[in-house]
A and B are shown apart, each in its own frame.
Chain A
Amino acid sequence: MVDFIQAVGSGVLVGLIYALLGLGIVVIFKASEAFNFAIGEFLVIGSFLFYVLFFDLRLPFLVALPLGLAASALVGALVERLTIKPLLGRSPMSMTIVTLGLGFLLRATVQLFFGSHTYSFFLDLPDITLELGSLIFLSDPIWAGMLSLATFGLVLLLLFRTRWGLAIRAVSESQARSMAYGIDARLILLVIWALSATCIAVAGIMISNFGALAAGSGIVGLRAIPVVLIGGMDSIGGALLGGLIVGVCESLVAAYIEPHGMVGFKEVAPYILLLLVLFIRPYGLFGTVRIERV
C-alpha cells in the first residue's frame, strides 16, 4: 500500500511537468489547429538558453530564470514569424508538417552550437525533501511539480483574468471574427506561440534538472502526445488531467510491472492507455466540448 501511494505521488509530480508540456501544445492547437511537433526542440532550446545564462554567465537564479524564459518566448515568437505566419490561411495540416521539419532544423542548430555531448545540469534549490513515515519524496521532483503547477496556474490567470487573455481566447475561437472587431489576430498568434514556448521552457528546465541536458533530450517532449490525446487536444483542463494520468500510469508501471522483467515498458504504457481511451472517447476525455443551444 505504501508502495502504491509512493508511486502515485511520484507519478503526480512528474505528471505536473507533463501537464505543462501538454498546455504548451493545447494553447497552440486551440488557436491554429496545428500540433507543434517541435515541442522537444523547444524544450531543449529553452533549457539551453537558461543553461547559458545561469551556468555559463553565472547570473543569479532569479535573474537567469525570467531572462531565460523571456529568451525562450522570443525564440517562440521568431519561429512563429518565420515559419507559421507565412502559412496563415492554409490548412492546419501544413502547419503541423512544417513543425515536423522545424524540429529537425532546430535540433541540428542546437547541435551546431552546443555539440551532442551531455551537459550536467544541477540547480541547487533549497532542500524540501518530504518524509512521511516510510514515504519519501525527493526535493527535486517536488520542486519540479510545484513550479510546473505554479506556471500552469499563472497561465490560467493570464487567460481568464486579463485583457490579453481575453483576446487570446477570442482569437482562438475565430480569427476572422476577431479581426472584424479590430483585434490584431496576427499579433495574438505571435503571443500565443511565445506563451507556449515559455511554458515548454519551464518544463524543460525542470526536466533537465533531473540530471543532464543534451541536444537529444528533446525526445521526452513527445510524451506530450499521449497527454493531449488523452485529455483532449483543445482542452486546457484536459492537459492537466492528461498529464497527471500519464505521469501516474508511468509511475505505477515502473513500480509494479517493470520489476517483472519488462524494462522500459513504462514508456509504452501511456500509449496503450491512450489507445483504450480513444476507443471510448475519440476526442479525448475533454476534447471538443461543443456548446450547443437546444
Chain B
Amino acid sequence: MISVENLRVVYHDVISVLNGVSLRVDDGEVVVLIGANGAGKTTLLRSICGLIKVFDGDIIEGDIRSGDTSLLGLDSMDIIKRHRITYVMEDRPVFEYLTIEENLEAAAFSRRDGEIKKDVEQVLEIFPPLKNIRGKRAGYASGGEQQMLAIGMGLMTRPQCMLLDEPSLGLAPLITEELFRIIEGLNREGLTILLVEQNAHAALSIGHRGYVMETGRIVLDGAAEELIRNEDVREFYLGAGERERKSYKDAKRYKRRKRWL
C-alpha cells in the first residue's frame, strides 16, 4: 500500500508544483488520478518512484510510504527492486534504437533470475500486436505499439504496483479501449495500479477510486462511480454539462462555487 502524506515538491529550487498532496493506493486497487495539464500529476509519480531528483526536483515536505517504510531518499533502482513499484513514464518511454525484444530484455537488466526469456514471451502474449513486430526497432513502431511496449517493459521488472502516466495520450480511441482492457486484466491478476489520465472517462470506468488534482492539490476524491457522476467532474473533465453550453460569463470563477465539496 502506498501512501502519500502532505507532499510538497519544488522544481529548480523555485517552482512549487505540489502544494500538500495526500493520497493512498491500497493493494489490488486501480486508483485514478485526473486533472488538467500542469496539475502536478507527473511530478507526483516521479516523486513516488524516486526519479524526482533526475528532473531537478526536491521533496521539501511530507512523506511517501510503502507499507511502513518511507520511500524518501531512495533511488528508483531500490524502489523497483525492494518495494516493487515501477513507473511507466509519460510519452511512451521506449528505447527507439533497440528492437522490441531488446527493449523488454533491457528493462529486465536489473534482474538476476533466469526467467527473463520466459517473461519476454509472456509479455508478448499479453500484447499480441508486439508479437508481430518483435524484431522491429521500437522507433518504427506505432504509438499504440510503443505504449504497449512501455507497459510491457514495466511488467518485466515484476512489479506489485505500477504507476502509469497518461497511457492513452495521443492514441486512437479503439487502441485506447484495447489498452485499458489489458490494464484492467492486469489488475484482475493482482497488479495494483495508479493511473494518471487525461482521458477521465476511460480511466474512471476501470478504476475503483479516484482523485482529482488541480495546481498541486487534491481537490476531490471518492469512488470512481461517484466521480463519474459528480457534476463538476463531468463539466470540467468529462465534457458533459447538464445544461446547455454555458456562456463564458457564467463560468467566471467568482460565480462558481468556491469549494469542491
Contacts and interface: CB of A to CB of B under 8 A. Distances in A.
Contacts, number: 84
A180 B110 contact: no
A105 interface: no
Q: Which 3 pairs from chain A and chain B are nearest by CB?
A: A291-B139, A182-B110, A182-B80
B109 A291 contact: no
B74 to A, nearest CB: 12
B236 interface: no
Contacts of B47: none
B98 A170 contact: yes
B93 A174 contact: yes
Interface in A167-190: 167, 169-170, 173-184
A271 to B, nearest CB: 31
A292 B139 contact: yes
Contact of A166 (B76, B102, B137): B102
Interface in B74-124: 75-77, 80-81, 86-89, 93-98, 102, 105-107, 109-110
Given A291-B96, A291-B97, A293-B139, A176 B54 contact: yes
A163 B109 contact: yes
Nearest to B49: A180
Nearest to B92: A177
B72 interface: no
13 contacts: A169-B97, A169-B106, A170-B106, A176-B55, A177-B89, A177-B93, A181-B157, A182-B77, A183-B77, A183-B109, A184-B110, A293-B139, A293-B140
Interface of A: 89, 163, 166-167, 169-170, 173-184, 291-293
Interface of B: 49, 51, 54-56, 75-77, 80-81, 86-89, 93-98, 102, 105-107, 109-110, 137, 139-142, 153-154, 156-157
Nearest to A166: B106
Contacts of A177: 89, 93-95
B89 A180 contact: yes
Nearest to A292: B139
Name, among A169, A170, A175, the residue most crowded by chain B CB atoms within 10 Å (CB to CB): A170
Given A166-B98, A167-B109, A293-B142, A180 B81 contact: no
Name, among A175, A178, A181, the residue most crowded by chain B CB atoms within 10 Å (CB to CB): A181
A159 to B, nearest CB: 11
Contacts of A292: 139
Contacts of B94: 177
A175 B56 CA distance: 14
B139 A169 contact: no
A275 B104 CA distance: 42
